[in-house]
Structure 1
């Protein structure tokens, strides 16, 4: 068994190295160019349609508000990757890794936007009257690749079993270390919360994440900004290091072992790709439930996701680590403690640990809730709504098993199964890029001028087009 798991791990590490970086970054570049660098050309408009309309009512058909759909999608990306993953990237790649993280985020906007637009366009109503969508739907309906769609749905459905175990174990270890709570007790608490939230379906999930995600982000950012305020003299130097060491090696210092340019690129790209999940096909599952008058308008919320998750939260984490100097004294093996150590001089060790632990707890709770919803949607696509309830039971059991560290050999399949989802999804999105371009052109020809005119007059305007509602 040890030889088998080592073999799986070796394959996973290889695939998630250069091959997937080429696919994801190359795909993102292709989509960015084909869509005319829209994320840069129309950034003020995108900001106005997302940050500027967080709490506005939307026109069109759907199950959730655009903001609820977005916070549901954000729930699966916000978490350990932002608080623990960034320190790991700096520990192994140096400050320059953050530059490459930014770069892949800007490129990933094209991929995330395209996925969400396609999810909206090819979505449909299920037996409950709720809107459902995602890669399995746009692959089946847009390309006619029914077997590929079924394969992706099956791989993601199974992958979420392993992912749920890993997330549950992560939170159990955190609560045990910070508060002395036994792992089994943590598993029971998480399972109970998940049952309560998922029982109400996507509407309840949307209502919970709409309140919890902004609260968590604000608490974490305010805590982090207080550290930056104390270390404000070091902020310019932190930015200088990010740009300087993105292009030249950095020698060893203290606990930092040193890093070349290749390491900065490798870890920066990996962290950027992992943090915003562009290309993974999960975001459109949540976004497809949104109320909107045009698929592209919800696509802008996909760009919003990348901005908040990677360009804001991950960047603030990086600045906290760099300005506090903890990256020089803590080695890669203990990189996950960097944020707590950076908070300690300001809040004290006990409060710093509580802030980080509580934030991680809430992040992981929302992540587990949303990925279980994703898993249920795969089961529904493959076998119908009744079977999805059985899969929810399987995921609840996985929470308990994962909390106590059981069946760890299954965890080895996590990255491999996810790669089996990512690769065909990105290929499908590239094949469907013509549809994305068509819908984008329709929006900017028919909706964008009206939105601009309405903004000048200080009112609201709406025009219907054939692409409206995304399911014709």
Structure 2
């Protein structure tokens, strides 16, 4: 079973999805005339002009634009930001970061489009505003079968298996650094998660609007501290990225025997996997934002990709490269941990464990919420209690089971949900273009 799923993933993530996701981003960048550049300032103002640690309470009518952004970022900024950049560099060389940036640049236009469609096709289920790809696939594309396929895929990929992966990362980190039993960590995580889930959209919005700015600031300040301490290595690190994008062996003196193809593949795949542009996950958060026009949330969506990739992922990459932690042997979270220990001393290990707790737990909240929107789509509110119970059980189990099959299945269902989402995005591109034109005419 593991061998079969791995084979499917190597085809899905190795070639098909990278091509489709990047192609969609390029298509929307051209169609919308570089919307991610033209509307970046607008998005920045709308995002940081509305930042509050305690905004208006969310409810049946949805949440504020900033709360929706915080929920989206909670899901985007996860273990991928710590382990993903390290995996990309270790497998594809420093040049992978260049391709990560390029894919994120095009991904900004994709997420802009997803947020608009989520707003246009949102609806009320049992009196509560909800939305996401399942809704625009069914109403816009007119395909209930594809919508159901998407919903089942995302509930399995994120709500169940994905959250096992996130809790497993927390359990492993706390076991290694603090010597705490993973199952004990799992029980505590489950209790806190259950408390948040029971509170519904109101409590989820309240938690994410507080946790996201704090965790982002904590990690950014820590990362910048290390980069500034090693400022002499900053320009050489930048050179390694740009040289390595086209000549990986020259960038590291042959330390990593990567090819340009590997640099592209790992950079693009890890970048897209982290910022989730085109994957159909974050539109669920943008759908419930209370805005006057769909494009208002679209421009905020642009900023979410920018924060995830160009700030958080990039800081991880520069910490690894400026501290000289890249040794050709370690990868993933271990490589990131080594880099922070080199930069901060023994405290670096604790810093990463704390960051991982924030990043992974906020992702659990975001992914639960995305799954919830699809449970509502399939079963209405009556499906929520069984879903909540199952997610809480999976969170606890995830800390004790490091089953490679769970990780691979999560990747596979992640891949499955991308395909119907991209079909709908391309088919409904005229709706996106029309909405952007209306928005620009309002100004």
Q: TM-score, normalised by structure 1?
A: 0.89
Match of 2:172 in 1: 173
Q: Which residue number corresponds to residue 35 of structure 2?
A: 38
Which residue in the other structure is 2:154 paired with?
Answer: 156
Aligned runs of 1:348-427 on 2, under 5 Å?
Answer: 348-349=345-346, 351-405=347-401, 409-427=405-423
Write the distance in 2 (CA, Å) between the matches of 1:223 and 1:407.
Answer: 32
- What residue in structure 2 maps to residue 269 of structure 1? 268
Distance 1:21 1:406, change over 3 A: closer
Tell me if structure 2 keeps the 8 A contact 1:248–1:261: yes
Q: Measure, in 2, the Cα distance between the counterparts of 1:147 and 1:442.
A: 31
Q: 1:240 & 1:346 partners in 2: Cα distance?
A: 20
Residue of structure 1 aligned with 2:427, choices 424, 431, 434: 431
Residues 143-162 of structure 1 deviation map (CA, whole Å, 9 limit, x = unaligned): 21111111111121222311
**Matched residue, 1:459:** none
Instruction: Tell me the C-alpha RMSD between the 2 structures.
Output: 1.9
1:124–1:133 CA contact under 8 A, matched in 2: yes
CA contact (8 A) 2:75 2:367 kept: yes
Instruction: Determine the C-alpha separation between the residues in 2 that align with 1:289 and 1:13.
Output: 35
Q: Provide the rounded CA distance (Å) in 1 between the counterparts of 2:403 and 2:268.
A: 30
Is residue 172–residue 187 contact of structure 1 (8 Å, CA) maintained in 2?
Answer: yes
1:324 aligns with 2:319: no
In the TM superposition, 1:180-219 aligns within 5 A as: 180-219=179-218
Say whether residues 1:112 and 2:108 are aligned partners. no
Distance 2:61 2:334 in 1: 42
Secondary structure of the corresponding residue to residue 203 of structure 2: helix
Residue 145 (structure 2) aligned to one of 129, 144, 147: 147
Judged with a 3 Å threshold, the aligned counterparts in structure 2 of structure 1 residues 296 and 394 are, in CA distance, closer, same or farther, namely same
How has the CA–CA distance of structure 1 residues 397 and 224 changed in structure 2, closer, same or farther, with 3 Å as cutoff?
same
| CA displacement at 1:326 relative to structure 2 | 0.8
Asked whether the equivalents of residues 130 and 289 of structure 1 are also in contact (C-alpha less than 8 Å), the reply is no
Task: Structure 2: give runs of 5+ residues left out of the alignment.
Answer: none
Highest CA radius of gyration, 1 or 2? 1
Conservation of the 8 A alpha-carbon contact between 2:278 and 2:422: yes
Query: 2: distance between equivalents of 1:186 and 1:240?
Result: 41
Contact kept? 1:251, 1:259, Cα under 8 Å: no
SS in 2 for 1:125: strand
Q: CA deviation at 1:340?
A: 2.4
Distance in 1 (CA, whole Å) between partners of 2:129 and 2:269 is 32
Q: Show structure 1 runs of 5+ residues with no match.
A: 450-472
Distance 2:415 2:23 in 1: 16
> In structure 2, what is the equivalent of residue 457 of structure 1?
none
User: Cα deviation per residue 1:33-61 (whole Å; 9 max; x = unaligned)?
Assistant: 11111111232223222234434989xx9
In 1, Cα distance between equivalents of 2:416 and 2:191: 31
Q: C-alpha separation between the residues in 1 aligned to 2:299 and 2:251? A: 42
How far apart, in 2, do the equivalents of 1:204 and 1:196 lie?
Answer: 9
| Aligned residue-pair number | 438
Q: C-alpha displacement at 1:251, in angstroms?
A: 4.8
d(CA) in 2 for partners of 1:245, 1:199: 48
Query: Which residue pairs with 1:297 in the alignment?
Result: 296
Structure 2-normalised TM-score?
0.95
State the partner residue of 2:281.
282
Partner-residue secondary structure (3-state), 1:384: helix
User: Once the 2 structures are TM-superposed, how far is the Cα of residue 241 of structure 1 from its aligned partner?
Assistant: 1.6
